[in-house]
Amino acid sequence: MRARGPGGQGRALPGGSPAPVEFDAVSTEAGGRRVLDRVNLLVPAGRTTAVMGQSGSGKTVLARHLAGDLKPTTGEIRVGGRPLWEGDRLAAAARGFGLLFGANRSYDHFIDRSSTVLENLAGVLRPDRADAAERAAAHARDWHLSEVADRPAAEVDSVTRHRLCLAQAFVGDPALVIVDDPSWAVDINHVDAEVTAIRAWQRRTGGTILLTTHSIMFARALADQVVVLEAGAVRAAGSTADVLRGVVDDVSFERRFGARLSVRESDVERLRALGTDRTRWGGGYYLDMLRPTGRNDTPYRRRTAVR
């Protein structure tokens, strides 16, 4: 599949069998400071691992290491028991990944704006794949893109282009998908369908997902395992239910882990601005809100249903 790192560079990545990922005492120094500090982490095969933490905690750097975009200073990363790096070169274990980075910025450099939405999806697949058109059409349905499938990407709104880019990371059925802060790519009006599409993809393929996120709701909806980073070190790791027990917002996250999830807007503020009555995240988290009344003090109430 065609995947791009933060710099927008693409490279062909064939699919492969799902495999566990291991970070073994991985440390990284940049700009005179330690960004990651002896990280030991297992990303189980066929499961979704969410990496959380405040901005600057090392989430994106960890994801870039796994994507092969940045080599750690010390330590080793293994995929299926094989080293990701051979000296200063990427090993064969780096193949078969679906990548999406820079989710909190414009996605326009990830797509061909002159091609249709469907062509952008099909373009991720191997040119010789006989079912490319059929697979792309099915993926468009899964991601609620069918209605705009024949429109040039330049003519759809930015939220739809975000969703298209997120869909592209999965369409080639890679063994491993690495997504940096995908909650910024999620259209709140289609969030149920998008979460369902990701879960269905994982059940069908057995693929592994590593995502970084500031969103407690998104982690609850998708992750089997949550890892919390603080100052480049693993502060907590375990099942989503255990790690996020009692954590429902930025304040309770800070109370538990000593670091606030610093984002441009909180989940609550984003939903409030959209005037949403009810948003459901896969049965794991609910936020009920009243419609805006034109005042800044629109009331809301929150309740959780921990899986």
Q: What is the CATH number of the domain that holds 165?
A: 3.40.50.300
pLDDT at 261: 75
pLDDT at 228: 96
pLDDT at 28: 94
pLDDT at 275: 38
Is residue 71 in a domain? yes
Largest CA distance in the chain: 61
* Contact between 177 and 210 (Cβ < 8 Å): yes
* Angstrom distance (rounded) from CA 126 to CA 205: 17
pLDDT at 303: 29
* Burial track 11-49 (b if 16+ CB lie within 10 A, e otherwise): eebebbebbbbbbeebbbeeeeeebbbebebebebbbbb
Global pTM value:
0.76
Indicate the number of domains in the chain: 1
* Angstrom distance (rounded) from CA 171 to CA 169: 6
Is residue 289 in a domain? no
Sheet holding 33-43, edge to edge: 33-43, 21-30, 74-79, 82-83
* Residue range of the domain that includes 206: 2-264
Is residue 305 in a domain? no
Is residue 302 in a domain? no
pLDDT at 212: 92
For the chain, how many residues are written? 307
Is residue 214 in a domain? yes
Regions of the chain where pLDDT drops below 70 = 1-18, 93-96, 101-110, 127-128, 184-188, 190, 262-307
* Contact between 27 and 196 (Cβ < 8 Å): no
Q: Which amino acid is at 242?
A: D
Beta bridge partners of 27: 74
3-state secondary structure of 134: helix
